[in-house]
Structure 1
């Protein structure tokens, strides 16, 4: 229990201490007029209360990510605590803050346009295509998963539920952001937080009354507990599996939506840095719950491997056992409603990205339809693939996006004459993670499956080479 409580306290302290430092280092100032007030077109640029912007941002970036990813990450054991806490404070929340605030400083620009401004047109064109594909895959994944669960619960047809969810997505994507997203999503965001708090409270209660013995972290336990360690190497696999809750490139695609809605730059720390810290807390809660409900990472691995269960089953089992009927309701919200709300904002971000690239006016529904209909047609075709196939492409592409955004943020700091280490060091680390993954991961997961004794040093060497390239580029910028 000490490990769990210290992890939560550490994340909260990170918001107040390091988050405040990051805000001051960036130079947020309420003297600068935000895009929400400067443009305010009543569609995508709409000033909203900070609490509402925070809950929407939290729900947009969270969904199932900090739940499913944390459960799968817990299979690696207590190292998940280290990655979630330190990754969230020093990498993920910094990544999210700079993504949002650079968008604020550039009139709500989408992330490819921001990357292009600081890394050049080559990276801009790469990001335009790459982020668009990622957004479509996220949207499709969060159609397919809920549709399959709804089909099971209702004994209905899968295609019928796909049609229903896609129809909702289209409506939510077309309407002004304050009509559906601004009204309903804060409730779902609150539900996701309440669900996590309920699970945390249950763990603490059962721990105090002696019905649950919570595992504590120690150096001897900082090893790979995965039941298949040959294909699931601690480094880099765990850092890919646990993205939401530690560091996630997808968040940078969502930040510009809320960058168009905040009223003051000083609110950015609460909305961007704060939402990521909240997601880290949710991830810590579910990683802890998964490890302790099944009596340690060994039990969790046994359940997932021997019994063939998936994270959705784990969520349902824990929620029903610890929270009863109320837990069952929140479990349904967690595995059905929350993914849908992440999926539709992914499609909305895709529409905004295309509009930014092509300089398309989005003031009328007719003009938004010209972008949305082809987008949803592609999404529907991809939704016919198996969920596992879609999900496989999300993990690595998500972290590759984070790497590019971190490098772009580091170059921004160079251009404004500030030290770049706050972003360049996380960029080097995540570059090594992604490159190493490509080298050592099994072919079925998108890698080359080389021997780790060769792949890991090679991945680190290539990351160092990327850092040297960055330093040379930075020196040219200064010159």
Structure 2
């Protein structure tokens, strides 16, 4: 438990210090925000800080900071330190500068920010990654809530051979298709705060149970080769860099967040609210990720015999989460681990409430992701979307691709792990663009001495994302040695081009030096 508490101190104290430094560098002032200067009662609307902060948290949180840590904790207790450190100096910094720059640039959205501070070529590459990410978000957010509902709510096996599995997927799929064409999310949007509160409740509940009942956790300085699971062996064999950072996406860094903070940039009443709305909400997500990582580790230490989880290596070389059911060990998916943790920590009633929120939240994000994908493609290729027939003509091909990916991911024993890592990889690759744009912004606004704040996480994650795709079978399939060398070269190129672009400038800064 000591390692977890150290990580929590890093998250809170580090967040306070780094958040204040971000404010010092950006220098928020009392200028009129877009919520007032462009107020239209629709997108540009002044809203109180608490509401903006809650909306931003709901937009950026879902199953991301839950399922990533559930799988990432297998690398050992180092995850309980890596998550808060990465969150404070990487993800929260990314969210802060993305939101604040968009606010100062008149409520600009992320594509506009990337185009302005980089180049048209980089913008087109960014556009491709946006489409890829939204496609995978839609797929993951059918798979994960569907599996949780099947196994933890209805008591089905969730197996690909069961009809019930595909019926549940089909229901979510149908809702997404309708929501992609018709704006029905406005109805369910009215209850978003309730589900957001449930998400926070589940994290606080699991945290409270760990502290009160002294859940067994492995410490960094202790033996990682426990009787329950050999974290040390998994760490050595699993290529911690880059695999861990591709697995644990949303709790550390998420490119998807920048698109959401840009939306909130149109509703904050003062720039001085940015730290609470953008930076601190990412820190809250880091806390959620830490709790789920620790909760999963605790249940692994308890083992299935005592109501927890037992790890077993399958015949196909895949580590499986096992629970005891009817006196026998039964394999469950990573998504089903959510229900096990909820029930163990919160009891049957509290666990059921938490599960409902965890199921609904990704569904309410998946529908908007697929609608955004349709609109992005329509805008890019100038395809009119002024009636249902035209919207369907673009939505149907998108859903055919989503369906194909979903079937493959469900049937292949390694499907979910692969799907999740490509989702996380595209998510973090997308983050490289706003980080580069923020670095360039700082340089052209005479704050180049602070450019390291966004440049360092940009360089690191360029290395991570490049290494992964160079080695991955669905990527270039190169050996790890070559992948590491290639990743280092690409990361160096990213740094050089970002700094060069910043020094070149080439346009009037949005924030002229006084």
Fold match by TM threshold 0.5 = yes
| Counterpart pick for 1:330 among 350, 353, 359 | 353
Give the aligned partner of residue 451 of structure 1. Answer: 480
| Counterpart pick for 1:438 among 447, 450, 469 | 469
TM-score between both structures, scaled by the size of structure 1: 0.86
Matches within 5 A, 1:149-228: 149-150=148-149, 153-154=153-154, 156=164, 158=166, 162-163=170-171, 166-167=174-175, 170-171=178-179, 175=183, 180-181=188-189, 183-207=190-214, 212-218=215-221, 225=231
Cα 1:76/1:449, change in 2 over 3 Å:
farther
SS of structure 2 residue aligned to 1:190: helix
How many residues align? The count is 465
Give the aligned partner of residue 254 of structure 2. Answer: 248
Query: 5+ unaligned residues in a row in structure 1: which ranges?
Result: none
In 2, Cα distance between the equivalents of 1:147 and 1:64? 12
CA apart distance, 1:371: 7.9
CA apart distance, 1:102: 2.0
Deviates more, 1:188-197 or 1:319-328: 319-328
In 1, Cα distance between the equivalents of 2:437 and 2:467? 21
TM-score between both structures, scaled by the size of structure 2: 0.80
Alignment pair present for 1:402 and 2:408: no
Deviates more, 1:252-261 or 1:41-50: 41-50
Q: 2:463·2:490 contact (CA, 8 Å) conserved in 1?
A: yes
Cα 1:326/1:463, change in 2 over 3 Å:
same
In 2, Cα distance between the equivalents of 1:327 and 1:193? 13
Cα 1:324/1:52, change in 2 over 3 Å:
same
Cα 1:24/1:97, change in 2 over 3 Å:
same
In 2, Cα distance between the equivalents of 1:406 and 1:324? 42
Give the aligned partner of residue 504 of structure 2. Answer: 476
Q: 2:73·2:79 contact (CA, 8 Å) conserved in 1?
A: yes
In 1, Cα distance between the equivalents of 2:272 and 2:371? 26
Give the aligned partner of residue 111 of structure 1. Answer: 110
Q: 2:67·2:334 contact (CA, 8 Å) conserved in 1?
A: yes
Cα deviation code 1:197-224 (max 9, x no counterpart): 00000000111xxxx33322228759x9
Alignment pair present for 1:29 and 2:58: no
Cα 1:458/1:124, change in 2 over 3 Å:
closer
Cα 1:177/1:267, change in 2 over 3 Å:
farther
Matches within 5 A, 1:114-153: 114-150=113-149, 153=153
Give the aligned partner of residue 347 of structure 1. Answer: 370
Cα 1:375/1:392, change in 2 over 3 Å:
farther
Cα deviation code 1:239-294 (max 9, x no counterpart): 11111110111111222222222222222211111111000000111111111221
SS of structure 1 residue aligned to 2:44: coil
Cα 1:242/1:391, change in 2 over 3 Å:
closer
In 1, Cα distance between the equivalents of 2:266 and 2:339? 36
Q: 1:151·1:161 contact (CA, 8 Å) conserved in 2?
A: no
In 2, Cα distance between the equivalents of 1:105 and 1:297? 52
Alignment pair present for 1:315 and 2:338: yes
SS of structure 2 residue aligned to 1:432: helix
Matches within 5 A, 1:52-71: 52-71=51-70
SS of structure 1 residue aligned to 2:14: helix
Deviates more, 1:271-280 or 1:98-107: 98-107
Cα 1:219/1:460, change in 2 over 3 Å:
farther
Alignment pair present for 1:466 and 2:497: no
Deviates more, 1:381-390 or 1:239-248: 381-390
Deviates more, 1:192-201 or 1:136-145: 136-145
Cα 1:106/1:471, change in 2 over 3 Å:
closer
In 1, Cα distance between the equivalents of 2:44 and 2:396? 26
In 2, Cα distance between the equivalents of 1:27 and 1:431? 28
Alignment pair present for 1:305 and 2:312: no
In 1, Cα distance between the equivalents of 2:203 and 2:432? 29
In 1, Cα distance between the equivalents of 2:25 and 2:343? 45
Cα 1:383/1:159, change in 2 over 3 Å:
farther
In 1, Cα distance between the equivalents of 2:184 and 2:440? 34
In 2, Cα distance between the equivalents of 1:18 and 1:297? 38
SS of structure 1 residue aligned to 2:332: coil
Cα 1:137/1:458, change in 2 over 3 Å:
closer
Cα deviation code 1:365-420 (max 9, x no counterpart): x8586885455324421332324365453121111111222111111111212121
Q: CA RMSD in A?
A: 3.3
SS of structure 1 residue aligned to 2:245: helix
In 2, Cα distance between the equivalents of 1:173 and 1:99? 29
Give the aligned partner of residue 269 of structure 1. Answer: 275
Query: 5+ unaligned residues in a row in structure 2: which ranges?
Result: 157-163, 314-318, 323-330, 410-415, 508-514
Q: 1:75·1:225 contact (CA, 8 Å) conserved in 2?
A: yes
Cα 1:131/1:475, change in 2 over 3 Å:
same
| Counterpart pick for 1:290 among 290, 293, 296 | 296
Cα 1:205/1:157, change in 2 over 3 Å:
closer
